[in-house]
Amino acid sequence: MIELQHIAKTYVRTSGSRTRAIAVDDINIEIAKGEFVSIVGPSGAGKSTLIRLLIAEEKPDHGKILIAERDITLLQPRELPYYRRKVGVVFQDFKLLPAKTVWENIAFALEVSDISTAEIRERVPKILTLVGLADKGENYPHELSGGEKQRVAIARAMIHSPRILIADEPTGNLDPATTGEIIELLERINRSGTTVLLATHNKEVVNNLKRRVIAMEHGRIVSDEKIGRYVLPGHQGKEING
């Protein structure tokens, strides 16, 4: 499903003296269809860069990124919207449109893809039910709790039935109880066959999942455990902050 082959990305900083910062360095990963994988590591480890590469927001300096055996680094600009409909993305800050209702926020993702009104009316109620917000369609974002906002964001990410869902710190702004509810929702989505990639700093979440854990540090993969815990080599027994 997902295969990264010798991926590298370097940024050039021009403020002050010109320097090169290696964001990811010779990354090799294979993720099978239907896996639930946590990507962990301190700030600056390369997690965010990896996500931007996976959603084709940026291109690597070299290497291949194969999604369903297609190298997305070769996608043409006109192909990107279609590709991104097959990869749902959820962020920490929700990114909801404040002037639109919950229903309209989700429907908008279909409208910009030229989906018919009839199909929108069929799809939106189903996805609202999936995320437990069947009674919140007419509410605006400011009327929702943080957990409800994240559920809307997940619904919007899932509205095209993507093969892959990438969640970038989806519980970073949530309390522990709500965090548990969001992770439970991601697990339910995963059980339906969607591959889930979770980038997180939350040690408790990762350890409770008992799923595959890929740990990054200084742009490189330092461990890849089938049933892992949030512990980096050299940090055994310590909380990894970032």
- Cα distances (Å, whole numbers) of residue 121 to 52, 81, 144: 31, 22, 22
Q: Which residues pair with 70 in a beta bridge?
A: 67
Query: Domain 2-225 in CATH: superfamily?
Result: P-loop containing nucleotide triphosphate hydrolases (3.40.50.300)
Domains of the chain by residue range: 2-225
Q: CA 80: distance to chain centroid?
A: 17
* Number of Cβ within a 10 Å radius of residue 227: 9
Output the six-digit token pair for 90. Answer: 């959820």
Tens digit of pLDDT per residue, the chain (242 long)? 999 999 999 998 776 667 889 999 999 999 999 999 999 999 889 999 999 999 999 999 999 999 999 999 999 999 999 999 999 999 999 999 999 999 999 999 999 999 999 999 999 999 999 999 999 999 999 999 999 999 999 999 999 999 999 999 999 999 999 999 999 999 999 999 999 999 998 999 999 999 999 999 999 999 999 998 887 666 554 444 44
State the Cα angle at 34 between 80 and 76, rounded to 5°.
10
Residue 16: predicted pLDDT = 67
Helix (H) or strand (E) holding 199: strand 195-199
Residues 6+ apart with CB under 8 A from 234: none
